[in-house]
Amino acid sequence: MKNQAIIITGATSGMGKAIATLLAQKGARLLLNGRDEHKGKDLVGELKKWSDVVFIAGDVSKPETNEQLVRETITHFGKITGAITNAGSLGLGSVTNMALADWHYTLNTNLNSFFYLTKYAIPHIKNEKGFIVANASIAAFKSFPNHAAYCASKAALVSLVKQMAVDYGPDIRINAICPGPVNTPLIWDSAKAFPNPDAAVSDAAKATLLKRLGEPEDIANLVEFLISEKASWITGTAITIDGGIMASR
């Protein structure tokens, strides 16, 4: 990992933070992004004992933020070996009751930000024979009430990952991970779409074959494997990590 220079978005909480922490512990150099500058500075303080870590605050739903992340990574590390995207927005609501602004923001954050970042980063990642990992969701395959924009954006993200793997192999390995219910702030926000949020989260845990919520560290372990040489023949796929929910549908 010590030769890696990786961009990680959505890095200040939940799965993104767990991924950043694990990879920093392994010695990877990281360019981290999130919207909250204070959280970002605190995270750098936590991780700098293990590796060279830089934080750039910004909203990845905007193209210019992603262009900046690529530029700053080259400035600090001289190369980009990979990108791991985690930024996400729920945009709760059905098609008829969702504000247009919420629809656009959710797609910009969940889908377009991946397009923006990879558009600018791919020429550099290609030089390093590197990798891209998109954090999608089982919502790409399974519909949830009042999650119209979220489900649509995650399904499109998985499709884009597979298409890009065709265009950029064999130089870049590009994969998606599709978590089920993970114990992060996002699951509690998602549960607000249900009549009883506490029961919804409890039911989600019970619906897994392993009878528990996933932990952010579970997701980080999968990402560590996917970006390693042990996964050198894996590209163009979407890997569910969901405690078995999709197997029991």
pLDDT value at 249 more than 80: no
Local confidence band at 131 (pLDDT 50, 70, 90 cut-offs): very high
pLDDT in tens, 71-81: 999 999 999 99
Q: How confident is the model at residue 248 (pLDDT cuts 50, 70, 90)?
A: confident
Asked if residues 102 and 143 have their Cβ atoms less than 8 Å apart, the reply is no
Mean pLDDT across 162-179: 98
Smallest CA-to-CA distance from 20 within 7, 4, 2 is with 7
The pLDDT value recorded for residue 191 is 81
DSSP per-residue codes, 53-109? EEEEE--TTSHHHHHHHHHHHHHHHS---EEEE-------B-TTTS-HHHHHHHHII
**Average pLDDT over every residue of 33-61:** 97
The pLDDT score that the predictor gives to residue 133 is 98
Asked if 8 and 19 count as a contact pair (C-beta separation under 8 A), the reply is yes
Q: What is the rounded CA–CA span in Å between residue 166 and residue 62?
A: 26
Instruction: Report percent pLDDT > 70 for the chain.
Output: 100
Question: If you average pLDDT over residues 114-140, what whole number do you get?
Answer: 98
The residue that leads in pLDDT, 239 or 198, is 239
- The stretch 169-194 carries a mean pLDDT of 91
Mean pLDDT, rounded, for 104-124: 98
Name the residue with higher pLDDT: 191 or 97.
Answer: 97
What pLDDT is attached to residue 186? 83
Q: What is the mean pLDDT of residues 105-112?
A: 98
The catalytic position among 116, 120, 150, 168 is 150
pLDDT over threshold 80, residue 193? no
Q: Does residue 150 carry a catalytic annotation?
A: yes
pLDDT tens digit string along 203-233? 999 999 999 999 999 999 999 999 999 999 9
- Domains in the chain, please, with CATH? 5-180+215-243 (3.40.50.720)
Residue 127 main-chain phi, psi, to 5 deg:
-60, -30
Assess whether pLDDT exceeds 80 at residue 116.
yes
DSSP code string of 193-220: GSSSHHHHHHHHHHHSTTSS-B-HHHHH
What is the pLDDT, as a whole number, of residue 180?
96
Choice between 236 and 194, residue whose per-residue pLDDT is larger:
236
In what order do the strands lie in the sheet containing 238-241? 53-57, 29-34, 5-8, 82-85, 131-135, 173-179, 238-241
